[in-house]
Chain A
Amino acid sequence: SQTIHQWPATLVQPVGSPLSLECTVEGTSNPNLYWYRQAAGRGLQLLFYSVGIGQISSEVPQNLSASRPQDRQFILSSKKLLLSDSGFYLCAWTHLPGQGGYEQYFGPGTRLTVT
């Protein structure tokens, strides 16, 4: 069966510091991968998605970037954090078209507080 991991689970970082959040998927190959952010009391906003190694699409202009160095690894980064980057960051995956169902599955999330 497939599992998705995120770390760290929680993070407190000062304004201006760098950020690296990691997401890995086990038990599947060539997944589509996604990064979402959820502000307190709000819905989820799609930040980035990737259909393959090195292929990243950005949904909203922002202070963040994403990379996919390996098939099942997705990384969210920032060079200098802003207060507005605080939130709950969720990674998700789906099968590629024709390789399985269309459901999107989410990781446990990383709660980021920028101080």
Chain B
Amino acid sequence: GIQVEQSPPDLILQEGANSTLRCNFSDSVNNLQWFHQNPWGQLINLFYIPSGTKQNGRLSATTVATERYSLLYISSSQTTDSGVYFCAVEPPSNDYKLSFGAGTTVTVRA
């Protein structure tokens, strides 16, 4: 099956810092989503971005499908940004089944 690798596995930031999270995938994809898992376990949808660039407030994401990677940018980080960020992809199988990376654990310190 498709392989999804996220880096770095852990990231510690000072409040106000910027950061970039990376997601590499081993095959073409129909769907790519970024999620934030909060301390209570809830998975929050950040971006649906199989290609191109999107921005939502302090977060933005870029997917370069031809090179099989996606980047999530966090600017001016806040303590509420702490949690685990997951990249998930769906290969072109028409089944809408997502394969998840192992996640990047982000800790933002005040």
Contacts and interface: CB of A to CB of B under 8 A. Distances in A.
Answer whether A and B are interacting partners. yes
Interface of A: 32, 34, 38, 42-46, 49, 59, 88, 90, 94, 97, 101-106, 108-109, 111
A106 B86 CA distance: 13
29 contacts: A34-B97, A43-B86, A43-B100, A43-B101, A43-B102, A43-B103, A44-B98, A45-B100, A46-B97, A49-B95, A49-B96, A90-B41, A90-B43, A97-B96, A101-B48, A102-B31, A102-B48, A102-B96, A103-B31, A104-B33, A104-B98, A106-B35, A106-B42, A106-B43, A106-B45, A108-B40, A108-B42, A109-B41, A111-B41
Interface string B70-94: 0000000000000000101010001
B42 A109 contact: yes
A104 B87 CA distance: 12
Interface residues of B, number: 23
Nearest to B86: A43
Nearest to B90: A102
Contacts of A46: 97-99
Interface of B: 30-31, 33, 35, 40-43, 45, 48, 86, 88, 90, 94-103
Given A104-B33, A105-B45, A106-B43, A59 B100 contact: no
A38 B103 CA distance: 12
